[in-house]
Each structure stands twice: as C-alpha cells, then as structure tokens.
Structure 1
Amino acid sequence: MSNHQPLPAEMKSYTVWDKPTRLFHWINVMLVFALLIIGGVMMFRSELGISELSGKIGLKTLHVLIGYGFAINLLIRLVWGFVGNKYARFNHMFPNAHSKNELQAYQAEVAAGKNPQYLGHNPKGKFAVLAIMLLLVTIMSTGLIRAGTDIYYPPFGNSVQSYLAAPNVEPSSLKPYDATGIDTDKANSMKSMKGLAGKVHVYAVYLLMLLIVLHVFAVVYTEVKRQPGIISAMFSGKKLIQGQPKDE
C-alpha cells in the first residue's frame, strides 16, 4: 500500500483583466469616493458653516465636474463591455439563462467542501456586478438630470434654460437658484420630475454604498478563504488558478 499523498494541482497563471478594465475599476473607485465626500459636504453644509448661496453653488459645481469624469469613465466601460476581452465583456460578467443552474452548482460544491476556481466572477459575483453596474448607470443618469436642472450644466442645461425662460427673457441669462426671468408655471411643472431624479439619485447612492461594503467584504473573504490572488489580479491583470477553472 502506497503512503504517497496526492500532489496538489499545479498553479497556473492566466491573463484575465485587460488594462482598460483595470483602469476603469480604479478610476471609478477614486471618483466615487470623491463624489461621496463632496456629496456628504453638500448634505451637511449648514452644519459645516457653509450657508451662503455661492458656497452651495460652488459645491454643486465641483460635484458635477467630478461627476463628468465619473460619467465619461463609465461610458467608456459600457462600450468596452462589448468590445473588450472575454472577461471584460458583459456576456461573461453578467448573469444569463444558465446562471441559476451555475449558482446552484457553485453553492453545492462549496457546501461539499470543494473550492471551485473562476477566472472571471463566480456565479454569485455576477449578480453583484450587474447590480453595481445598474446603480452606477442610474446615478450617472439622475446626476446629469440634476446638473441640468440645478445649475444648467450640460447635457440638459441649455434645454432647461430655454424651457424655463419667461417670454422675452434670454435663456442664457438665467442663473442657478435665482427665480429672476423664470416662468413660474413652467418651474412648478418641473418640480416633480426634478424631485424624483434627486430622490432616485440619493437612494441609489445609499444602496451603492451598501453594495461597496458587501463587495469589499466578499473580495477579502474570497481572497483569504477560497481563491488567493483576486485582489492583486485587479492590479496585474493575472490570476493564479489551482486546477481547472470553471469558466475557462
């Protein structure tokens, strides 16, 4: 009878995350945190002693300018989701018709003490990625609406000014948070839409914050317990996999 123990499967390096995907991820992290900080200051500006209108407009403008960077980065990623490498594409990152069965199989393997390895996202991660991406698009869309209705910034600002301007008033003369030259009836008709966009924007951000916390916890847990190297892979683009990956 042999006393030899079976050798562990060989570790193999795979190139997974291409450079544009990695750049999007880290740029997005920085911009989201910058927007959260400025947004928090905006919400608590009175408590922070920022009471003048110029301060309010200045914070809003800074938030919008950073938001443009966030929007451009996200739009590039949306395009890259169709033309990037296999693991950057949405048809590999997002759940599909087979995801329910894949998730059940994944959970069964984990429950049995196995350690399934994935080059891309595991079946649970795909649902999280979809939720985060939908929230990012929602935040971008509602943020651009509020940028146009609050301080008349592109892409909707000119149209909003033209709509709100009273007869014989030059639309470009309208100033943020100033009722001078504005058609009151039209301004009132916009309030519900503007308010809805603001509420969706804020609550989408709250939900994103929750998902960020859960995402960080899940990544650290997976790194420590199941698949070492997934954090470093978002810097290097390479994953070390032991055995046969499930999604090669």
Structure 2
Amino acid sequence: MKAPMFTVRIWDLPTRLFHWTLAVCVIGLVITGNVGGNAMVWHFRLGYAVLALLLFRLAWGFVGGYWSRWSSLPLHPRQALAYLQSHSTDQTSAGHNPLGSWSILLMLCFLAFQVSTGLISDDEIANAGPLTALVSSNWVSWASAWHKNWGKLIILLLVLAHLLALLWYRVKKRQPLVPAMLHGDKRLPQPVTASRDLFHLRLGALLVLCLAGLAVYGLLLLGG
C-alpha cells in the first residue's frame, strides 16, 4: 500500500516573490555591469533594488512564514553532519536543508557585501557610487577593485553552485525543488509545521518592503 502524502505550504508568497525578484535583479546586474556605458544607470538602480530586497529578507526572517524564518534554518554543524550522513528528518528538511541553509546565507551575505562595495566604487571614467564622498580614496580604490573582480567572481560561483545543486537534487535524488518556490507547497511523507500565508501577512510584507525601500533611499541621501 502506497504511503499517504501531505501537501504543506512551505514558502509564503512574499518569500517566493523575493526569491525570483532577487534572481532577476542579479542577472540584470551581471548583464549591465558587463555592458557598461549607459547600461550603468540600470546597474545602479538594480543594485539599490537588491539592497532593499536584502533588508526586506533580513526583517522577513524574523516575522515571515515559519520556514522563511532564520530560526528555522538548520545551521548547526551537527545538523549538517547528520544531513551528509543521510540522517536528516522531514521536519528539518522540509524547508532548506542544512547545506542549502548555509549556501543561502553565504549568498545573501556576499550579495550584501557586493552591493556595499558598489556604493563606494568609482570606475574613474563616468560612474561613481553615491557614497564615495564619505570614505577615503584608499577605501574607494579597494572597493572598486573588489567589486569588479573578486566580488563579481564569488557571486557568479555561488549562483553556479546553487544551479548545480538544484540540478543534482532533480536528477540524482528525484527531488525537484523549483516547483515549491513557484507555488509554495511541498508534498511530504509526513505532516510538518506549515507556513502561514494569509492576506494580512502579505500586506505586512509589503509594508516591510516599503520600509526597506525608504531605508535605502535615506542611505543614498547621505551621499548628498
């Protein structure tokens, strides 16, 4: 007799929209950064959008759906070791598994650092970050070099690793992870805590996003 499966809401709508919007913005940043010239106007705009998204995700990690919260990420080394030894449980892997949790955290941290260096970068041609006047020329020079070289390379490697992991789960483990980030639900062999995804919570997420946008706008005003 086939075991019953349970459909559980794992990813709330704000988390899903954040994920796909961030992906589009990162792709746009890579394209506009490589094109240069007039495309740099959009490079800066997309950078500001990413910063607002990251601030939103930081806050949403405390008030969002159950599986979107930082407290639900299995980051303890013992959890990672148990997962590698295939001793993880459905309760701990319904959201991000331990390795996925660390990869997501690294991605968000490096994106935040990359955007931060972009704010104080200067290509010495026609484009300068809005906050370059607030730091020394040595910091501007270092940030510019990092932003264009190591920072960009690390982000691309993290994105590639993320895509390869998705492919590995789809082909080797027969676990397609992308659909759940589209519709929010997963079919699991046992019931787990579901993420609340109600209308008033979605309105709350919109408010958090607006506040994040205002915070970015206020930061840019510091540059004069």
TM above 0.5, one fold? Answer: yes
SS of alignment partner, residue 146 of structure 1: coil
Gap regions ≥5 residues in structure 2: 196-224
The alignment status of 1:41 with 2:35, answered yes or no, reads yes
Distance, in Å, in 2 between the alignment partners of 1:153 and 1:131 is 24
Q: Please name the residue that 1:238 is paired with.
A: 185
CA 1:153–1:217 in structure 2 vs 1: closer, same or farther (change >3 Å)?
A: closer
Which amino acid counterpart does residue 141 of structure 2 have in structure 1? G
* Offset of residue 207 of structure 1: 0.8
* Offset of residue 219 of structure 1: 1.3
In the TM superposition, what are the counterparts of 1:1-248 in structure 2 within 5 Å?
7-42=1-36, 56=37, 58-93=38-73, 95=75, 99-109=76-86, 117=90, 118-146=93-121, 151=127, 154=130, 156=131, 160=133, 190-202=136-148, 203-226=150-173, 228-243=175-190
The CA RMSD over aligned residues, in Å, is 2.9
* Offset of residue 152 of structure 1: 5.8
Which amino acid counterpart does residue 90 of structure 1 have in structure 2? W
CA deviation map 1:55-77 (0-9, x unaligned): x4x33323112222222222211
Distance, in Å, in 2 between the alignment partners of 1:12 and 1:94 is 22
> Which of the two has higher C-alpha Rg?
1
CA deviation map 1:188-207 (0-9, x unaligned): x9331111111232312211
Contact 1:9–1:243 (Cα < 8 Å) also in 2: no
SS of alignment partner, residue 109 of structure 1: coil
SS of alignment partner, residue 226 of structure 1: coil
Contact 2:60–2:69 (Cα < 8 Å) also in 1: yes
Distance, in Å, in 1 between the alignment partners of 2:12 and 2:72 is 14
Which amino acid counterpart does residue 80 of structure 1 have in structure 2? W
CA 1:116–1:146 in structure 2 vs 1: closer, same or farther (change >3 Å)?
A: same
CA deviation map 1:120-178 (0-9, x unaligned): 1111111111111111110121112227x974664x36xx2xx7xxxxxxxxxxxxxxx
Which amino acid counterpart does residue 144 of structure 2 have in structure 1? G
* Offset of residue 19 of structure 1: 0.7
SS of alignment partner, residue 94 of structure 2: coil
TM-score (norm. length: structure 1):
0.67
* Offset of residue 105 of structure 1: 1.6
Contact 2:166–2:176 (Cα < 8 Å) also in 1: no
Distance, in Å, in 1 between the alignment partners of 2:2 and 2:141 is 59
CA 1:213–1:35 in structure 2 vs 1: closer, same or farther (change >3 Å)?
A: same
Contact 1:13–1:238 (Cα < 8 Å) also in 2: yes
Which amino acid counterpart does residue 45 of structure 2 have in structure 1? L
Distance, in Å, in 2 between the alignment partners of 1:132 and 1:23 is 17
SS of alignment partner, residue 96 of structure 2: coil
Distance, in Å, in 2 between the alignment partners of 1:229 and 1:9 is 19
Distance, in Å, in 2 between the alignment partners of 1:83 and 1:22 is 15
**Moved segments of 4+, more than 6 Å:** 244-248
Identity %: 29
Contact 2:8–2:191 (Cα < 8 Å) also in 1: no
Distance, in Å, in 2 between the alignment partners of 1:227 and 1:75 is 34
